[in-house]
Structure 1
Amino acid sequence: MKNEERRELTISRLLTAVKALIAEKGCEALTMKDLMERSGLSKGAIFHYVKSKDEIFAWVLQERLESTNEQFQTAAEQEPATFEGPMQRIANGMKSMTDPGDVTNKVFIYLLGKEADPAVAEALQQFYEQSIRYSKMWIIAGQQHGVIQPSLDADETAETFVLLTLGLRVRSMLPIGRSAGNLAEKLSGFMTRILKA
Protein backbone atom coordinates (compact mmCIF):
# COMPACT_ATOMS: atom_id res chain seq x y z
CA MET A 1 0.00 0.00 0.00
CA LYS A 2 1.35 3.43 -0.94
CA ASN A 3 1.94 6.11 1.69
CA GLU A 4 -0.90 8.31 0.42
CA GLU A 5 -3.35 5.39 0.41
CA ARG A 6 -2.26 4.43 3.93
CA ARG A 7 -2.68 8.04 5.07
CA GLU A 8 -6.19 8.31 3.58
CA LEU A 9 -7.23 4.98 5.13
CA THR A 10 -5.88 5.96 8.54
CA ILE A 11 -7.58 9.36 8.45
CA SER A 12 -10.85 7.77 7.37
CA ARG A 13 -10.67 5.27 10.25
CA LEU A 14 -9.86 8.06 12.70
CA LEU A 15 -12.72 10.24 11.49
CA THR A 16 -15.22 7.40 11.60
CA ALA A 17 -14.12 6.44 15.11
CA VAL A 18 -14.00 9.98 16.48
CA LYS A 19 -17.46 10.89 15.14
CA ALA A 20 -19.00 7.78 16.68
CA LEU A 21 -17.27 8.44 20.00
CA ILE A 22 -18.33 12.09 20.08
CA ALA A 23 -21.94 11.04 19.43
CA GLU A 24 -21.70 8.55 22.33
CA LYS A 25 -19.53 10.38 24.86
CA GLY A 26 -19.11 13.98 23.80
CA CYS A 27 -15.81 15.75 23.15
CA GLU A 28 -14.69 16.25 26.74
CA ALA A 29 -14.95 12.60 27.79
CA LEU A 30 -13.34 11.15 24.67
CA THR A 31 -9.82 9.86 25.31
CA MET A 32 -7.03 8.77 23.02
CA LYS A 33 -7.43 5.29 24.51
CA ASP A 34 -11.06 5.28 23.36
CA LEU A 35 -9.93 6.36 19.92
CA MET A 36 -7.27 3.64 19.71
CA GLU A 37 -9.77 0.96 20.74
CA ARG A 38 -12.50 2.13 18.37
CA SER A 39 -10.26 2.71 15.36
CA GLY A 40 -8.01 -0.30 15.90
CA LEU A 41 -4.99 1.95 15.42
CA SER A 42 -2.00 2.11 17.72
CA LYS A 43 -1.00 5.29 19.51
CA GLY A 44 2.03 5.54 17.22
CA ALA A 45 -0.11 5.19 14.10
CA ILE A 46 -2.45 7.94 15.30
CA PHE A 47 0.29 10.32 16.36
CA HIS A 48 2.09 9.77 13.07
CA TYR A 49 -0.70 11.87 11.49
CA VAL A 50 -1.90 14.15 14.32
CA LYS A 51 -0.51 15.94 17.35
CA SER A 52 -3.66 15.84 19.49
CA LYS A 53 -7.30 14.82 19.57
CA ASP A 54 -8.15 18.50 18.99
CA GLU A 55 -6.49 18.22 15.59
CA ILE A 56 -8.74 15.25 14.80
CA PHE A 57 -11.73 17.30 15.94
CA ALA A 58 -10.67 20.04 13.50
CA TRP A 59 -10.69 17.39 10.76
CA VAL A 60 -14.36 16.72 11.56
CA LEU A 61 -15.18 20.36 10.82
CA GLN A 62 -13.14 20.29 7.63
CA GLU A 63 -14.73 17.04 6.49
CA ARG A 64 -18.23 18.57 6.83
CA LEU A 65 -17.20 21.54 4.73
CA GLU A 66 -15.68 19.31 2.06
CA SER A 67 -18.77 17.09 2.01
CA THR A 68 -21.13 20.05 1.62
CA ASN A 69 -19.00 21.45 -1.18
CA GLU A 70 -18.88 18.09 -2.98
CA GLN A 71 -22.67 17.78 -2.74
CA PHE A 72 -23.07 21.30 -4.10
CA GLN A 73 -20.66 20.65 -6.99
CA THR A 74 -22.33 17.33 -7.89
CA ALA A 75 -25.79 18.91 -7.86
CA ALA A 76 -24.52 21.88 -9.93
CA GLU A 77 -23.18 19.51 -12.58
CA GLN A 78 -26.45 17.55 -12.67
CA GLU A 79 -28.79 20.57 -12.72
CA PRO A 80 -26.88 23.48 -14.26
CA ALA A 81 -29.94 25.16 -15.75
CA THR A 82 -32.11 25.61 -12.66
CA PHE A 83 -29.51 25.64 -9.88
CA GLU A 84 -32.27 24.54 -7.49
CA GLY A 85 -30.52 21.30 -6.52
CA PRO A 86 -27.26 22.90 -5.38
CA MET A 87 -29.08 25.52 -3.33
CA GLN A 88 -31.26 22.81 -1.78
CA ARG A 89 -28.11 20.88 -0.76
CA ILE A 90 -26.91 23.93 1.15
CA ALA A 91 -30.34 24.45 2.74
CA ASN A 92 -30.42 20.80 3.83
CA GLY A 93 -26.98 21.20 5.39
CA MET A 94 -28.27 24.12 7.42
CA LYS A 95 -30.80 21.86 9.12
CA SER A 96 -28.00 19.93 10.82
CA MET A 97 -26.71 23.21 12.24
CA THR A 98 -29.81 23.40 14.46
CA ASP A 99 -29.36 19.87 15.85
CA PRO A 100 -27.74 19.78 19.32
CA GLY A 101 -26.81 16.14 18.69
CA ASP A 102 -24.92 16.94 15.49
CA VAL A 103 -21.28 15.94 15.91
CA THR A 104 -20.01 18.96 13.99
CA ASN A 105 -21.90 21.33 16.30
CA LYS A 106 -20.46 19.58 19.35
CA VAL A 107 -16.94 19.81 17.95
CA PHE A 108 -17.34 23.48 17.00
CA ILE A 109 -18.53 24.47 20.48
CA TYR A 110 -15.82 22.37 22.15
CA LEU A 111 -13.07 23.94 20.06
CA LEU A 112 -14.44 27.44 20.67
CA GLY A 113 -13.88 26.81 24.37
CA LYS A 114 -10.22 26.03 23.66
CA GLU A 115 -9.44 28.97 21.39
CA ALA A 116 -6.60 30.07 23.70
CA ASP A 117 -4.59 27.11 22.38
CA PRO A 118 -2.74 28.45 19.30
CA ALA A 119 -3.26 25.23 17.32
CA VAL A 120 -7.01 25.28 18.02
CA ALA A 121 -7.22 29.00 17.20
CA GLU A 122 -5.50 28.32 13.88
CA ALA A 123 -7.86 25.40 13.10
CA LEU A 124 -10.90 27.57 13.87
CA GLN A 125 -9.55 30.37 11.70
CA GLN A 126 -8.96 27.93 8.82
CA PHE A 127 -12.50 26.55 9.23
CA TYR A 128 -13.94 30.07 9.17
CA GLU A 129 -11.90 31.17 6.16
CA GLN A 130 -12.67 27.97 4.22
CA SER A 131 -16.37 28.40 5.01
CA ILE A 132 -16.25 31.89 3.52
CA ARG A 133 -14.29 30.69 0.46
CA TYR A 134 -16.84 27.97 -0.28
CA SER A 135 -19.79 30.31 0.33
CA LYS A 136 -18.30 32.87 -2.03
CA MET A 137 -17.65 30.18 -4.63
CA TRP A 138 -21.29 29.02 -4.40
CA ILE A 139 -22.56 32.59 -4.74
CA ILE A 140 -20.36 33.24 -7.77
CA ALA A 141 -21.53 29.97 -9.35
CA GLY A 142 -25.13 31.10 -8.85
CA GLN A 143 -24.32 34.45 -10.43
CA GLN A 144 -22.73 32.72 -13.41
CA HIS A 145 -25.86 30.59 -13.83
CA GLY A 146 -28.08 33.68 -13.69
CA VAL A 147 -29.97 32.69 -10.53
CA ILE A 148 -28.23 35.11 -8.16
CA GLN A 149 -28.14 38.80 -8.91
CA PRO A 150 -24.79 39.77 -10.44
CA SER A 151 -24.59 43.03 -8.46
CA LEU A 152 -24.46 41.17 -5.16
CA ASP A 153 -21.11 41.55 -3.36
CA ALA A 154 -20.02 37.90 -3.07
CA ASP A 155 -17.36 38.58 -0.40
CA GLU A 156 -19.64 40.50 1.93
CA THR A 157 -22.59 38.17 1.44
CA ALA A 158 -20.49 35.04 1.98
CA GLU A 159 -19.17 36.37 5.27
CA THR A 160 -22.66 37.38 6.41
CA PHE A 161 -24.03 33.93 5.64
CA VAL A 162 -21.15 32.18 7.40
CA LEU A 163 -21.72 34.31 10.48
CA LEU A 164 -25.43 33.41 10.43
CA THR A 165 -24.70 29.69 10.12
CA LEU A 166 -22.15 29.81 12.95
CA GLY A 167 -24.86 31.47 15.01
CA LEU A 168 -27.14 28.52 14.25
CA ARG A 169 -24.45 26.14 15.53
CA VAL A 170 -24.05 28.09 18.77
CA ARG A 171 -27.81 28.39 19.26
CA SER A 172 -28.22 24.63 18.83
CA MET A 173 -26.16 24.06 21.97
CA LEU A 174 -27.95 26.60 24.19
CA PRO A 175 -30.54 25.21 26.64
CA ILE A 176 -33.26 27.65 25.59
CA GLY A 177 -36.15 25.22 25.45
CA ARG A 178 -37.53 26.21 22.05
CA SER A 179 -37.02 23.97 19.08
CA ALA A 180 -34.89 25.44 16.35
CA GLY A 181 -36.35 23.01 13.82
CA ASN A 182 -37.81 25.52 11.38
CA LEU A 183 -35.17 28.17 12.07
CA ALA A 184 -32.92 26.68 9.40
CA GLU A 185 -35.79 26.85 6.90
CA LYS A 186 -36.46 30.49 7.81
CA LEU A 187 -32.78 31.35 7.45
CA SER A 188 -32.59 29.50 4.15
CA GLY A 189 -35.61 31.43 2.89
CA PHE A 190 -34.09 34.70 4.10
CA MET A 191 -30.84 33.91 2.33
CA THR A 192 -32.67 32.99 -0.88
CA ARG A 193 -34.57 36.31 -0.83
CA ILE A 194 -31.31 38.24 -0.42
CA LEU A 195 -29.61 36.32 -3.21
CA LYS A 196 -32.45 36.76 -5.70
CA ALA A 197 -33.58 40.28 -4.75
Structure 2
Amino acid sequence: MKKDQTKRLLLRAVHDLVKEKGCIKMTLNDIMERTKLSKGAIYHYVKSKDELLGLVLMEKLNETNDRFFAKVSEGKKQLQEPLDEITQNVSFIEEPSEVTNQIFIYLLSRQDNPQVKKILKQFYEFNINLSKNWIHSGQENGVIDPSIHAQKTAELFVLIAYGLRARSAITDSSFEFTANDYIKFMEKTLKRGEG
Protein backbone atom coordinates (compact mmCIF):
# COMPACT_ATOMS: atom_id res chain seq x y z
CA MET A 1 0.00 0.00 0.00
CA LYS A 2 2.80 2.43 0.86
CA LYS A 3 4.36 1.78 -2.55
CA ASP A 4 1.10 2.80 -4.28
CA GLN A 5 0.82 5.91 -2.11
CA THR A 6 4.38 6.93 -2.92
CA LYS A 7 3.81 6.38 -6.62
CA ARG A 8 0.64 8.48 -6.51
CA LEU A 9 2.53 11.19 -4.61
CA LEU A 10 5.26 11.19 -7.28
CA LEU A 11 2.81 11.32 -10.18
CA ARG A 12 0.77 14.12 -8.57
CA ALA A 13 3.94 16.12 -7.90
CA VAL A 14 5.18 15.67 -11.47
CA HIS A 15 1.77 16.63 -12.85
CA ASP A 16 1.66 19.79 -10.72
CA LEU A 17 5.26 20.73 -11.48
CA VAL A 18 4.74 20.36 -15.24
CA LYS A 19 1.69 22.60 -14.90
CA GLU A 20 3.73 25.20 -12.99
CA LYS A 21 7.12 25.03 -14.73
CA GLY A 22 6.79 22.94 -17.87
CA CYS A 23 8.67 19.74 -18.68
CA ILE A 24 12.00 21.31 -19.56
CA LYS A 25 12.35 23.46 -16.44
CA MET A 26 11.10 20.82 -14.01
CA THR A 27 14.06 19.10 -12.32
CA LEU A 28 14.61 16.08 -10.15
CA ASN A 29 15.41 18.49 -7.31
CA ASP A 30 11.97 20.08 -7.77
CA ILE A 31 10.39 16.64 -7.49
CA MET A 32 12.45 15.80 -4.42
CA GLU A 33 11.52 19.09 -2.78
CA ARG A 34 7.82 18.69 -3.58
CA THR A 35 7.55 15.05 -2.46
CA LYS A 36 10.13 15.11 0.35
CA LEU A 37 11.54 11.93 -1.19
CA SER A 38 15.25 11.30 -1.64
CA LYS A 39 16.82 10.77 -5.05
CA GLY A 40 17.28 7.10 -4.12
CA ALA A 41 13.61 6.74 -3.20
CA ILE A 42 12.55 8.26 -6.51
CA TYR A 43 14.97 6.07 -8.46
CA HIS A 44 13.46 3.07 -6.69
CA TYR A 45 10.36 3.71 -8.83
CA VAL A 46 11.84 5.11 -12.04
CA LYS A 47 15.14 5.48 -13.86
CA SER A 48 14.65 9.06 -15.05
CA LYS A 49 12.54 12.18 -15.20
CA ASP A 50 11.39 11.05 -18.65
CA GLU A 51 10.10 7.78 -17.25
CA LEU A 52 8.15 9.72 -14.60
CA LEU A 53 6.62 11.84 -17.34
CA GLY A 54 5.66 8.69 -19.24
CA LEU A 55 3.98 7.33 -16.12
CA VAL A 56 1.87 10.49 -15.86
CA LEU A 57 0.64 9.84 -19.43
CA MET A 58 -0.16 6.22 -18.60
CA GLU A 59 -1.94 7.20 -15.39
CA LYS A 60 -4.34 9.46 -17.29
CA LEU A 61 -5.25 6.53 -19.55
CA ASN A 62 -5.60 4.18 -16.57
CA GLU A 63 -8.04 6.58 -14.90
CA THR A 64 -10.15 6.69 -18.06
CA ASN A 65 -10.00 2.91 -18.37
CA ASP A 66 -11.12 2.45 -14.76
CA ARG A 67 -14.10 4.79 -15.26
CA PHE A 68 -15.01 3.06 -18.55
CA PHE A 69 -15.07 -0.42 -17.04
CA ALA A 70 -16.87 0.81 -13.92
CA LYS A 71 -19.71 1.87 -16.23
CA VAL A 72 -19.55 -1.42 -18.15
CA SER A 73 -19.71 -3.38 -14.89
CA GLU A 74 -23.07 -1.78 -14.10
CA GLY A 75 -24.43 -4.33 -16.56
CA LYS A 76 -26.43 -1.98 -18.78
CA LYS A 77 -26.39 -3.09 -22.40
CA GLN A 78 -25.71 0.36 -23.81
CA LEU A 79 -22.74 2.21 -25.20
CA GLN A 80 -23.31 5.84 -24.29
CA GLU A 81 -22.33 5.93 -20.61
CA PRO A 82 -19.06 3.97 -21.01
CA LEU A 83 -18.26 5.98 -24.14
CA ASP A 84 -18.91 9.21 -22.24
CA GLU A 85 -16.14 8.19 -19.82
CA ILE A 86 -13.73 8.13 -22.76
CA THR A 87 -14.96 11.23 -24.55
CA GLN A 88 -15.39 13.52 -21.52
CA ASN A 89 -11.66 14.16 -21.47
CA VAL A 90 -11.10 14.35 -25.22
CA SER A 91 -11.47 18.13 -25.45
CA PHE A 92 -8.23 18.50 -23.47
CA ILE A 93 -6.22 17.17 -26.42
CA GLU A 94 -6.59 20.56 -28.10
CA GLU A 95 -5.25 22.49 -25.11
CA PRO A 96 -1.51 23.17 -25.48
CA SER A 97 -1.20 23.96 -21.76
CA GLU A 98 -2.82 20.69 -20.67
CA VAL A 99 -0.20 18.68 -18.76
CA THR A 100 -0.43 15.46 -20.76
CA ASN A 101 -0.12 17.40 -24.02
CA GLN A 102 2.98 19.17 -22.72
CA ILE A 103 4.47 15.82 -21.71
CA PHE A 104 3.55 14.17 -25.01
CA ILE A 105 5.15 16.93 -27.09
CA TYR A 106 8.20 17.10 -24.82
CA LEU A 107 8.79 13.35 -25.09
CA LEU A 108 8.31 13.47 -28.88
CA SER A 109 10.99 16.14 -29.05
CA ARG A 110 13.36 13.76 -27.26
CA GLN A 111 12.58 10.63 -29.24
CA ASP A 112 16.20 10.37 -30.42
CA ASN A 113 16.97 9.14 -26.88
CA PRO A 114 16.46 5.33 -26.89
CA GLN A 115 14.88 5.36 -23.42
CA VAL A 116 12.38 8.04 -24.46
CA LYS A 117 11.64 6.21 -27.71
CA LYS A 118 10.84 3.12 -25.61
CA ILE A 119 8.55 5.17 -23.33
CA LEU A 120 6.71 6.59 -26.35
CA LYS A 121 6.34 3.13 -27.90
CA GLN A 122 4.97 1.74 -24.63
CA PHE A 123 2.51 4.63 -24.36
CA TYR A 124 1.36 4.14 -27.94
CA GLU A 125 0.90 0.39 -27.52
CA PHE A 126 -0.89 0.90 -24.21
CA ASN A 127 -3.18 3.46 -25.83
CA ILE A 128 -3.97 1.11 -28.73
CA ASN A 129 -4.59 -1.86 -26.43
CA LEU A 130 -6.96 0.08 -24.18
CA SER A 131 -8.86 1.41 -27.18
CA LYS A 132 -9.08 -2.09 -28.64
CA ASN A 133 -10.28 -3.49 -25.28
CA TRP A 134 -12.99 -0.84 -25.13
CA ILE A 135 -14.17 -1.78 -28.61
CA HIS A 136 -14.10 -5.51 -27.80
CA SER A 137 -16.08 -4.85 -24.63
CA GLY A 138 -18.75 -3.05 -26.64
CA GLN A 139 -18.84 -5.89 -29.15
CA GLU A 140 -19.14 -8.50 -26.39
CA ASN A 141 -22.02 -6.54 -24.88
CA GLY A 142 -23.80 -6.28 -28.23
CA VAL A 143 -23.60 -2.48 -28.55
CA ILE A 144 -20.84 -2.27 -31.17
CA ASP A 145 -21.15 -4.03 -34.50
CA PRO A 146 -18.94 -7.15 -34.43
CA SER A 147 -17.82 -6.41 -37.99
CA ILE A 148 -15.89 -3.33 -36.81
CA HIS A 149 -12.20 -4.21 -36.92
CA ALA A 150 -11.05 -3.39 -33.38
CA GLN A 151 -7.33 -3.06 -34.13
CA LYS A 152 -7.77 -0.77 -37.15
CA THR A 153 -10.40 1.34 -35.41
CA ALA A 154 -8.26 1.68 -32.28
CA GLU A 155 -5.27 2.72 -34.40
CA LEU A 156 -7.40 5.30 -36.25
CA PHE A 157 -8.74 6.79 -33.02
CA VAL A 158 -5.25 7.05 -31.51
CA LEU A 159 -3.84 8.50 -34.73
CA ILE A 160 -6.46 11.25 -34.76
CA ALA A 161 -5.93 11.98 -31.06
CA TYR A 162 -2.16 12.23 -31.54
CA GLY A 163 -2.67 14.51 -34.52
CA LEU A 164 -4.90 16.82 -32.51
CA ARG A 165 -2.31 16.89 -29.71
CA ALA A 166 0.51 17.74 -32.11
CA ARG A 167 -1.56 20.39 -33.89
CA SER A 168 -2.27 22.11 -30.56
CA ALA A 169 1.46 22.55 -30.05
CA ILE A 170 2.03 23.91 -33.55
CA THR A 171 -0.65 26.57 -33.89
CA ASP A 172 -3.55 28.20 -32.08
CA SER A 173 -5.53 28.83 -35.27
CA SER A 174 -9.09 27.62 -35.49
CA PHE A 175 -9.83 24.57 -37.60
CA GLU A 176 -12.80 22.85 -39.14
CA PHE A 177 -12.07 19.48 -37.51
CA THR A 178 -12.01 19.84 -33.71
CA ALA A 179 -11.99 17.58 -30.68
CA ASN A 180 -15.80 17.76 -30.67
CA ASP A 181 -15.84 16.49 -34.26
CA TYR A 182 -13.51 13.70 -33.17
CA ILE A 183 -15.95 12.75 -30.39
CA LYS A 184 -18.86 12.72 -32.85
CA PHE A 185 -16.79 10.63 -35.28
CA MET A 186 -16.00 8.10 -32.54
CA GLU A 187 -19.62 7.92 -31.46
CA LYS A 188 -20.88 7.51 -35.03
CA THR A 189 -18.31 4.83 -35.80
CA LEU A 190 -19.00 2.84 -32.66
CA LYS A 191 -22.77 3.28 -32.40
CA ARG A 192 -23.51 1.55 -35.68
CA GLY A 193 -24.33 -1.63 -33.82
CA GLU A 194 -26.29 -0.06 -30.97
CA GLY A 195 -29.92 -1.02 -31.01
TM-score, normalised by the number of residues in structure 1:
0.91
Distance 2:24 2:75 in 1: 42
Q: How many angstroms does 1:170 deviate by?
A: 1.1
* Aligned CA-pair RMSD: 1.6
Residues 142-183 of structure 1 deviation map (CA, whole Å, 9 limit, x = unaligned): 112222111111111111111111112112222233279x82
Equivalent residues in 2 for 1:34-113, closer than 5 Å: 34-78=30-74, 80-113=76-109
Residues 132 and 150 of structure 2 are in contact (CA less than 8 Å); yes or no, is this contact kept in structure 1? yes
Give the match for residue 121 of structure 2. Answer: 125
Paired residues, what number? Answer: 192
Q: How many angstroms does 1:79 deviate by?
A: 5.4
Distance 1:190 1:141 in 2: 19
TM-score, normalised by the number of residues in structure 2:
0.92
Give the match for residue 139 of structure 2. Answer: 143
Q: Please say if 1:191 is aligned against 2:193.
A: no
Distance 1:48 1:97 in 2: 31
Distance 1:69 1:193 in 2: 20
| Structure 2: runs of 5 or more not aligned | none
Q: Please say if 1:21 is aligned against 2:28.
A: no
| Structure 1: runs of 5 or more not aligned | none
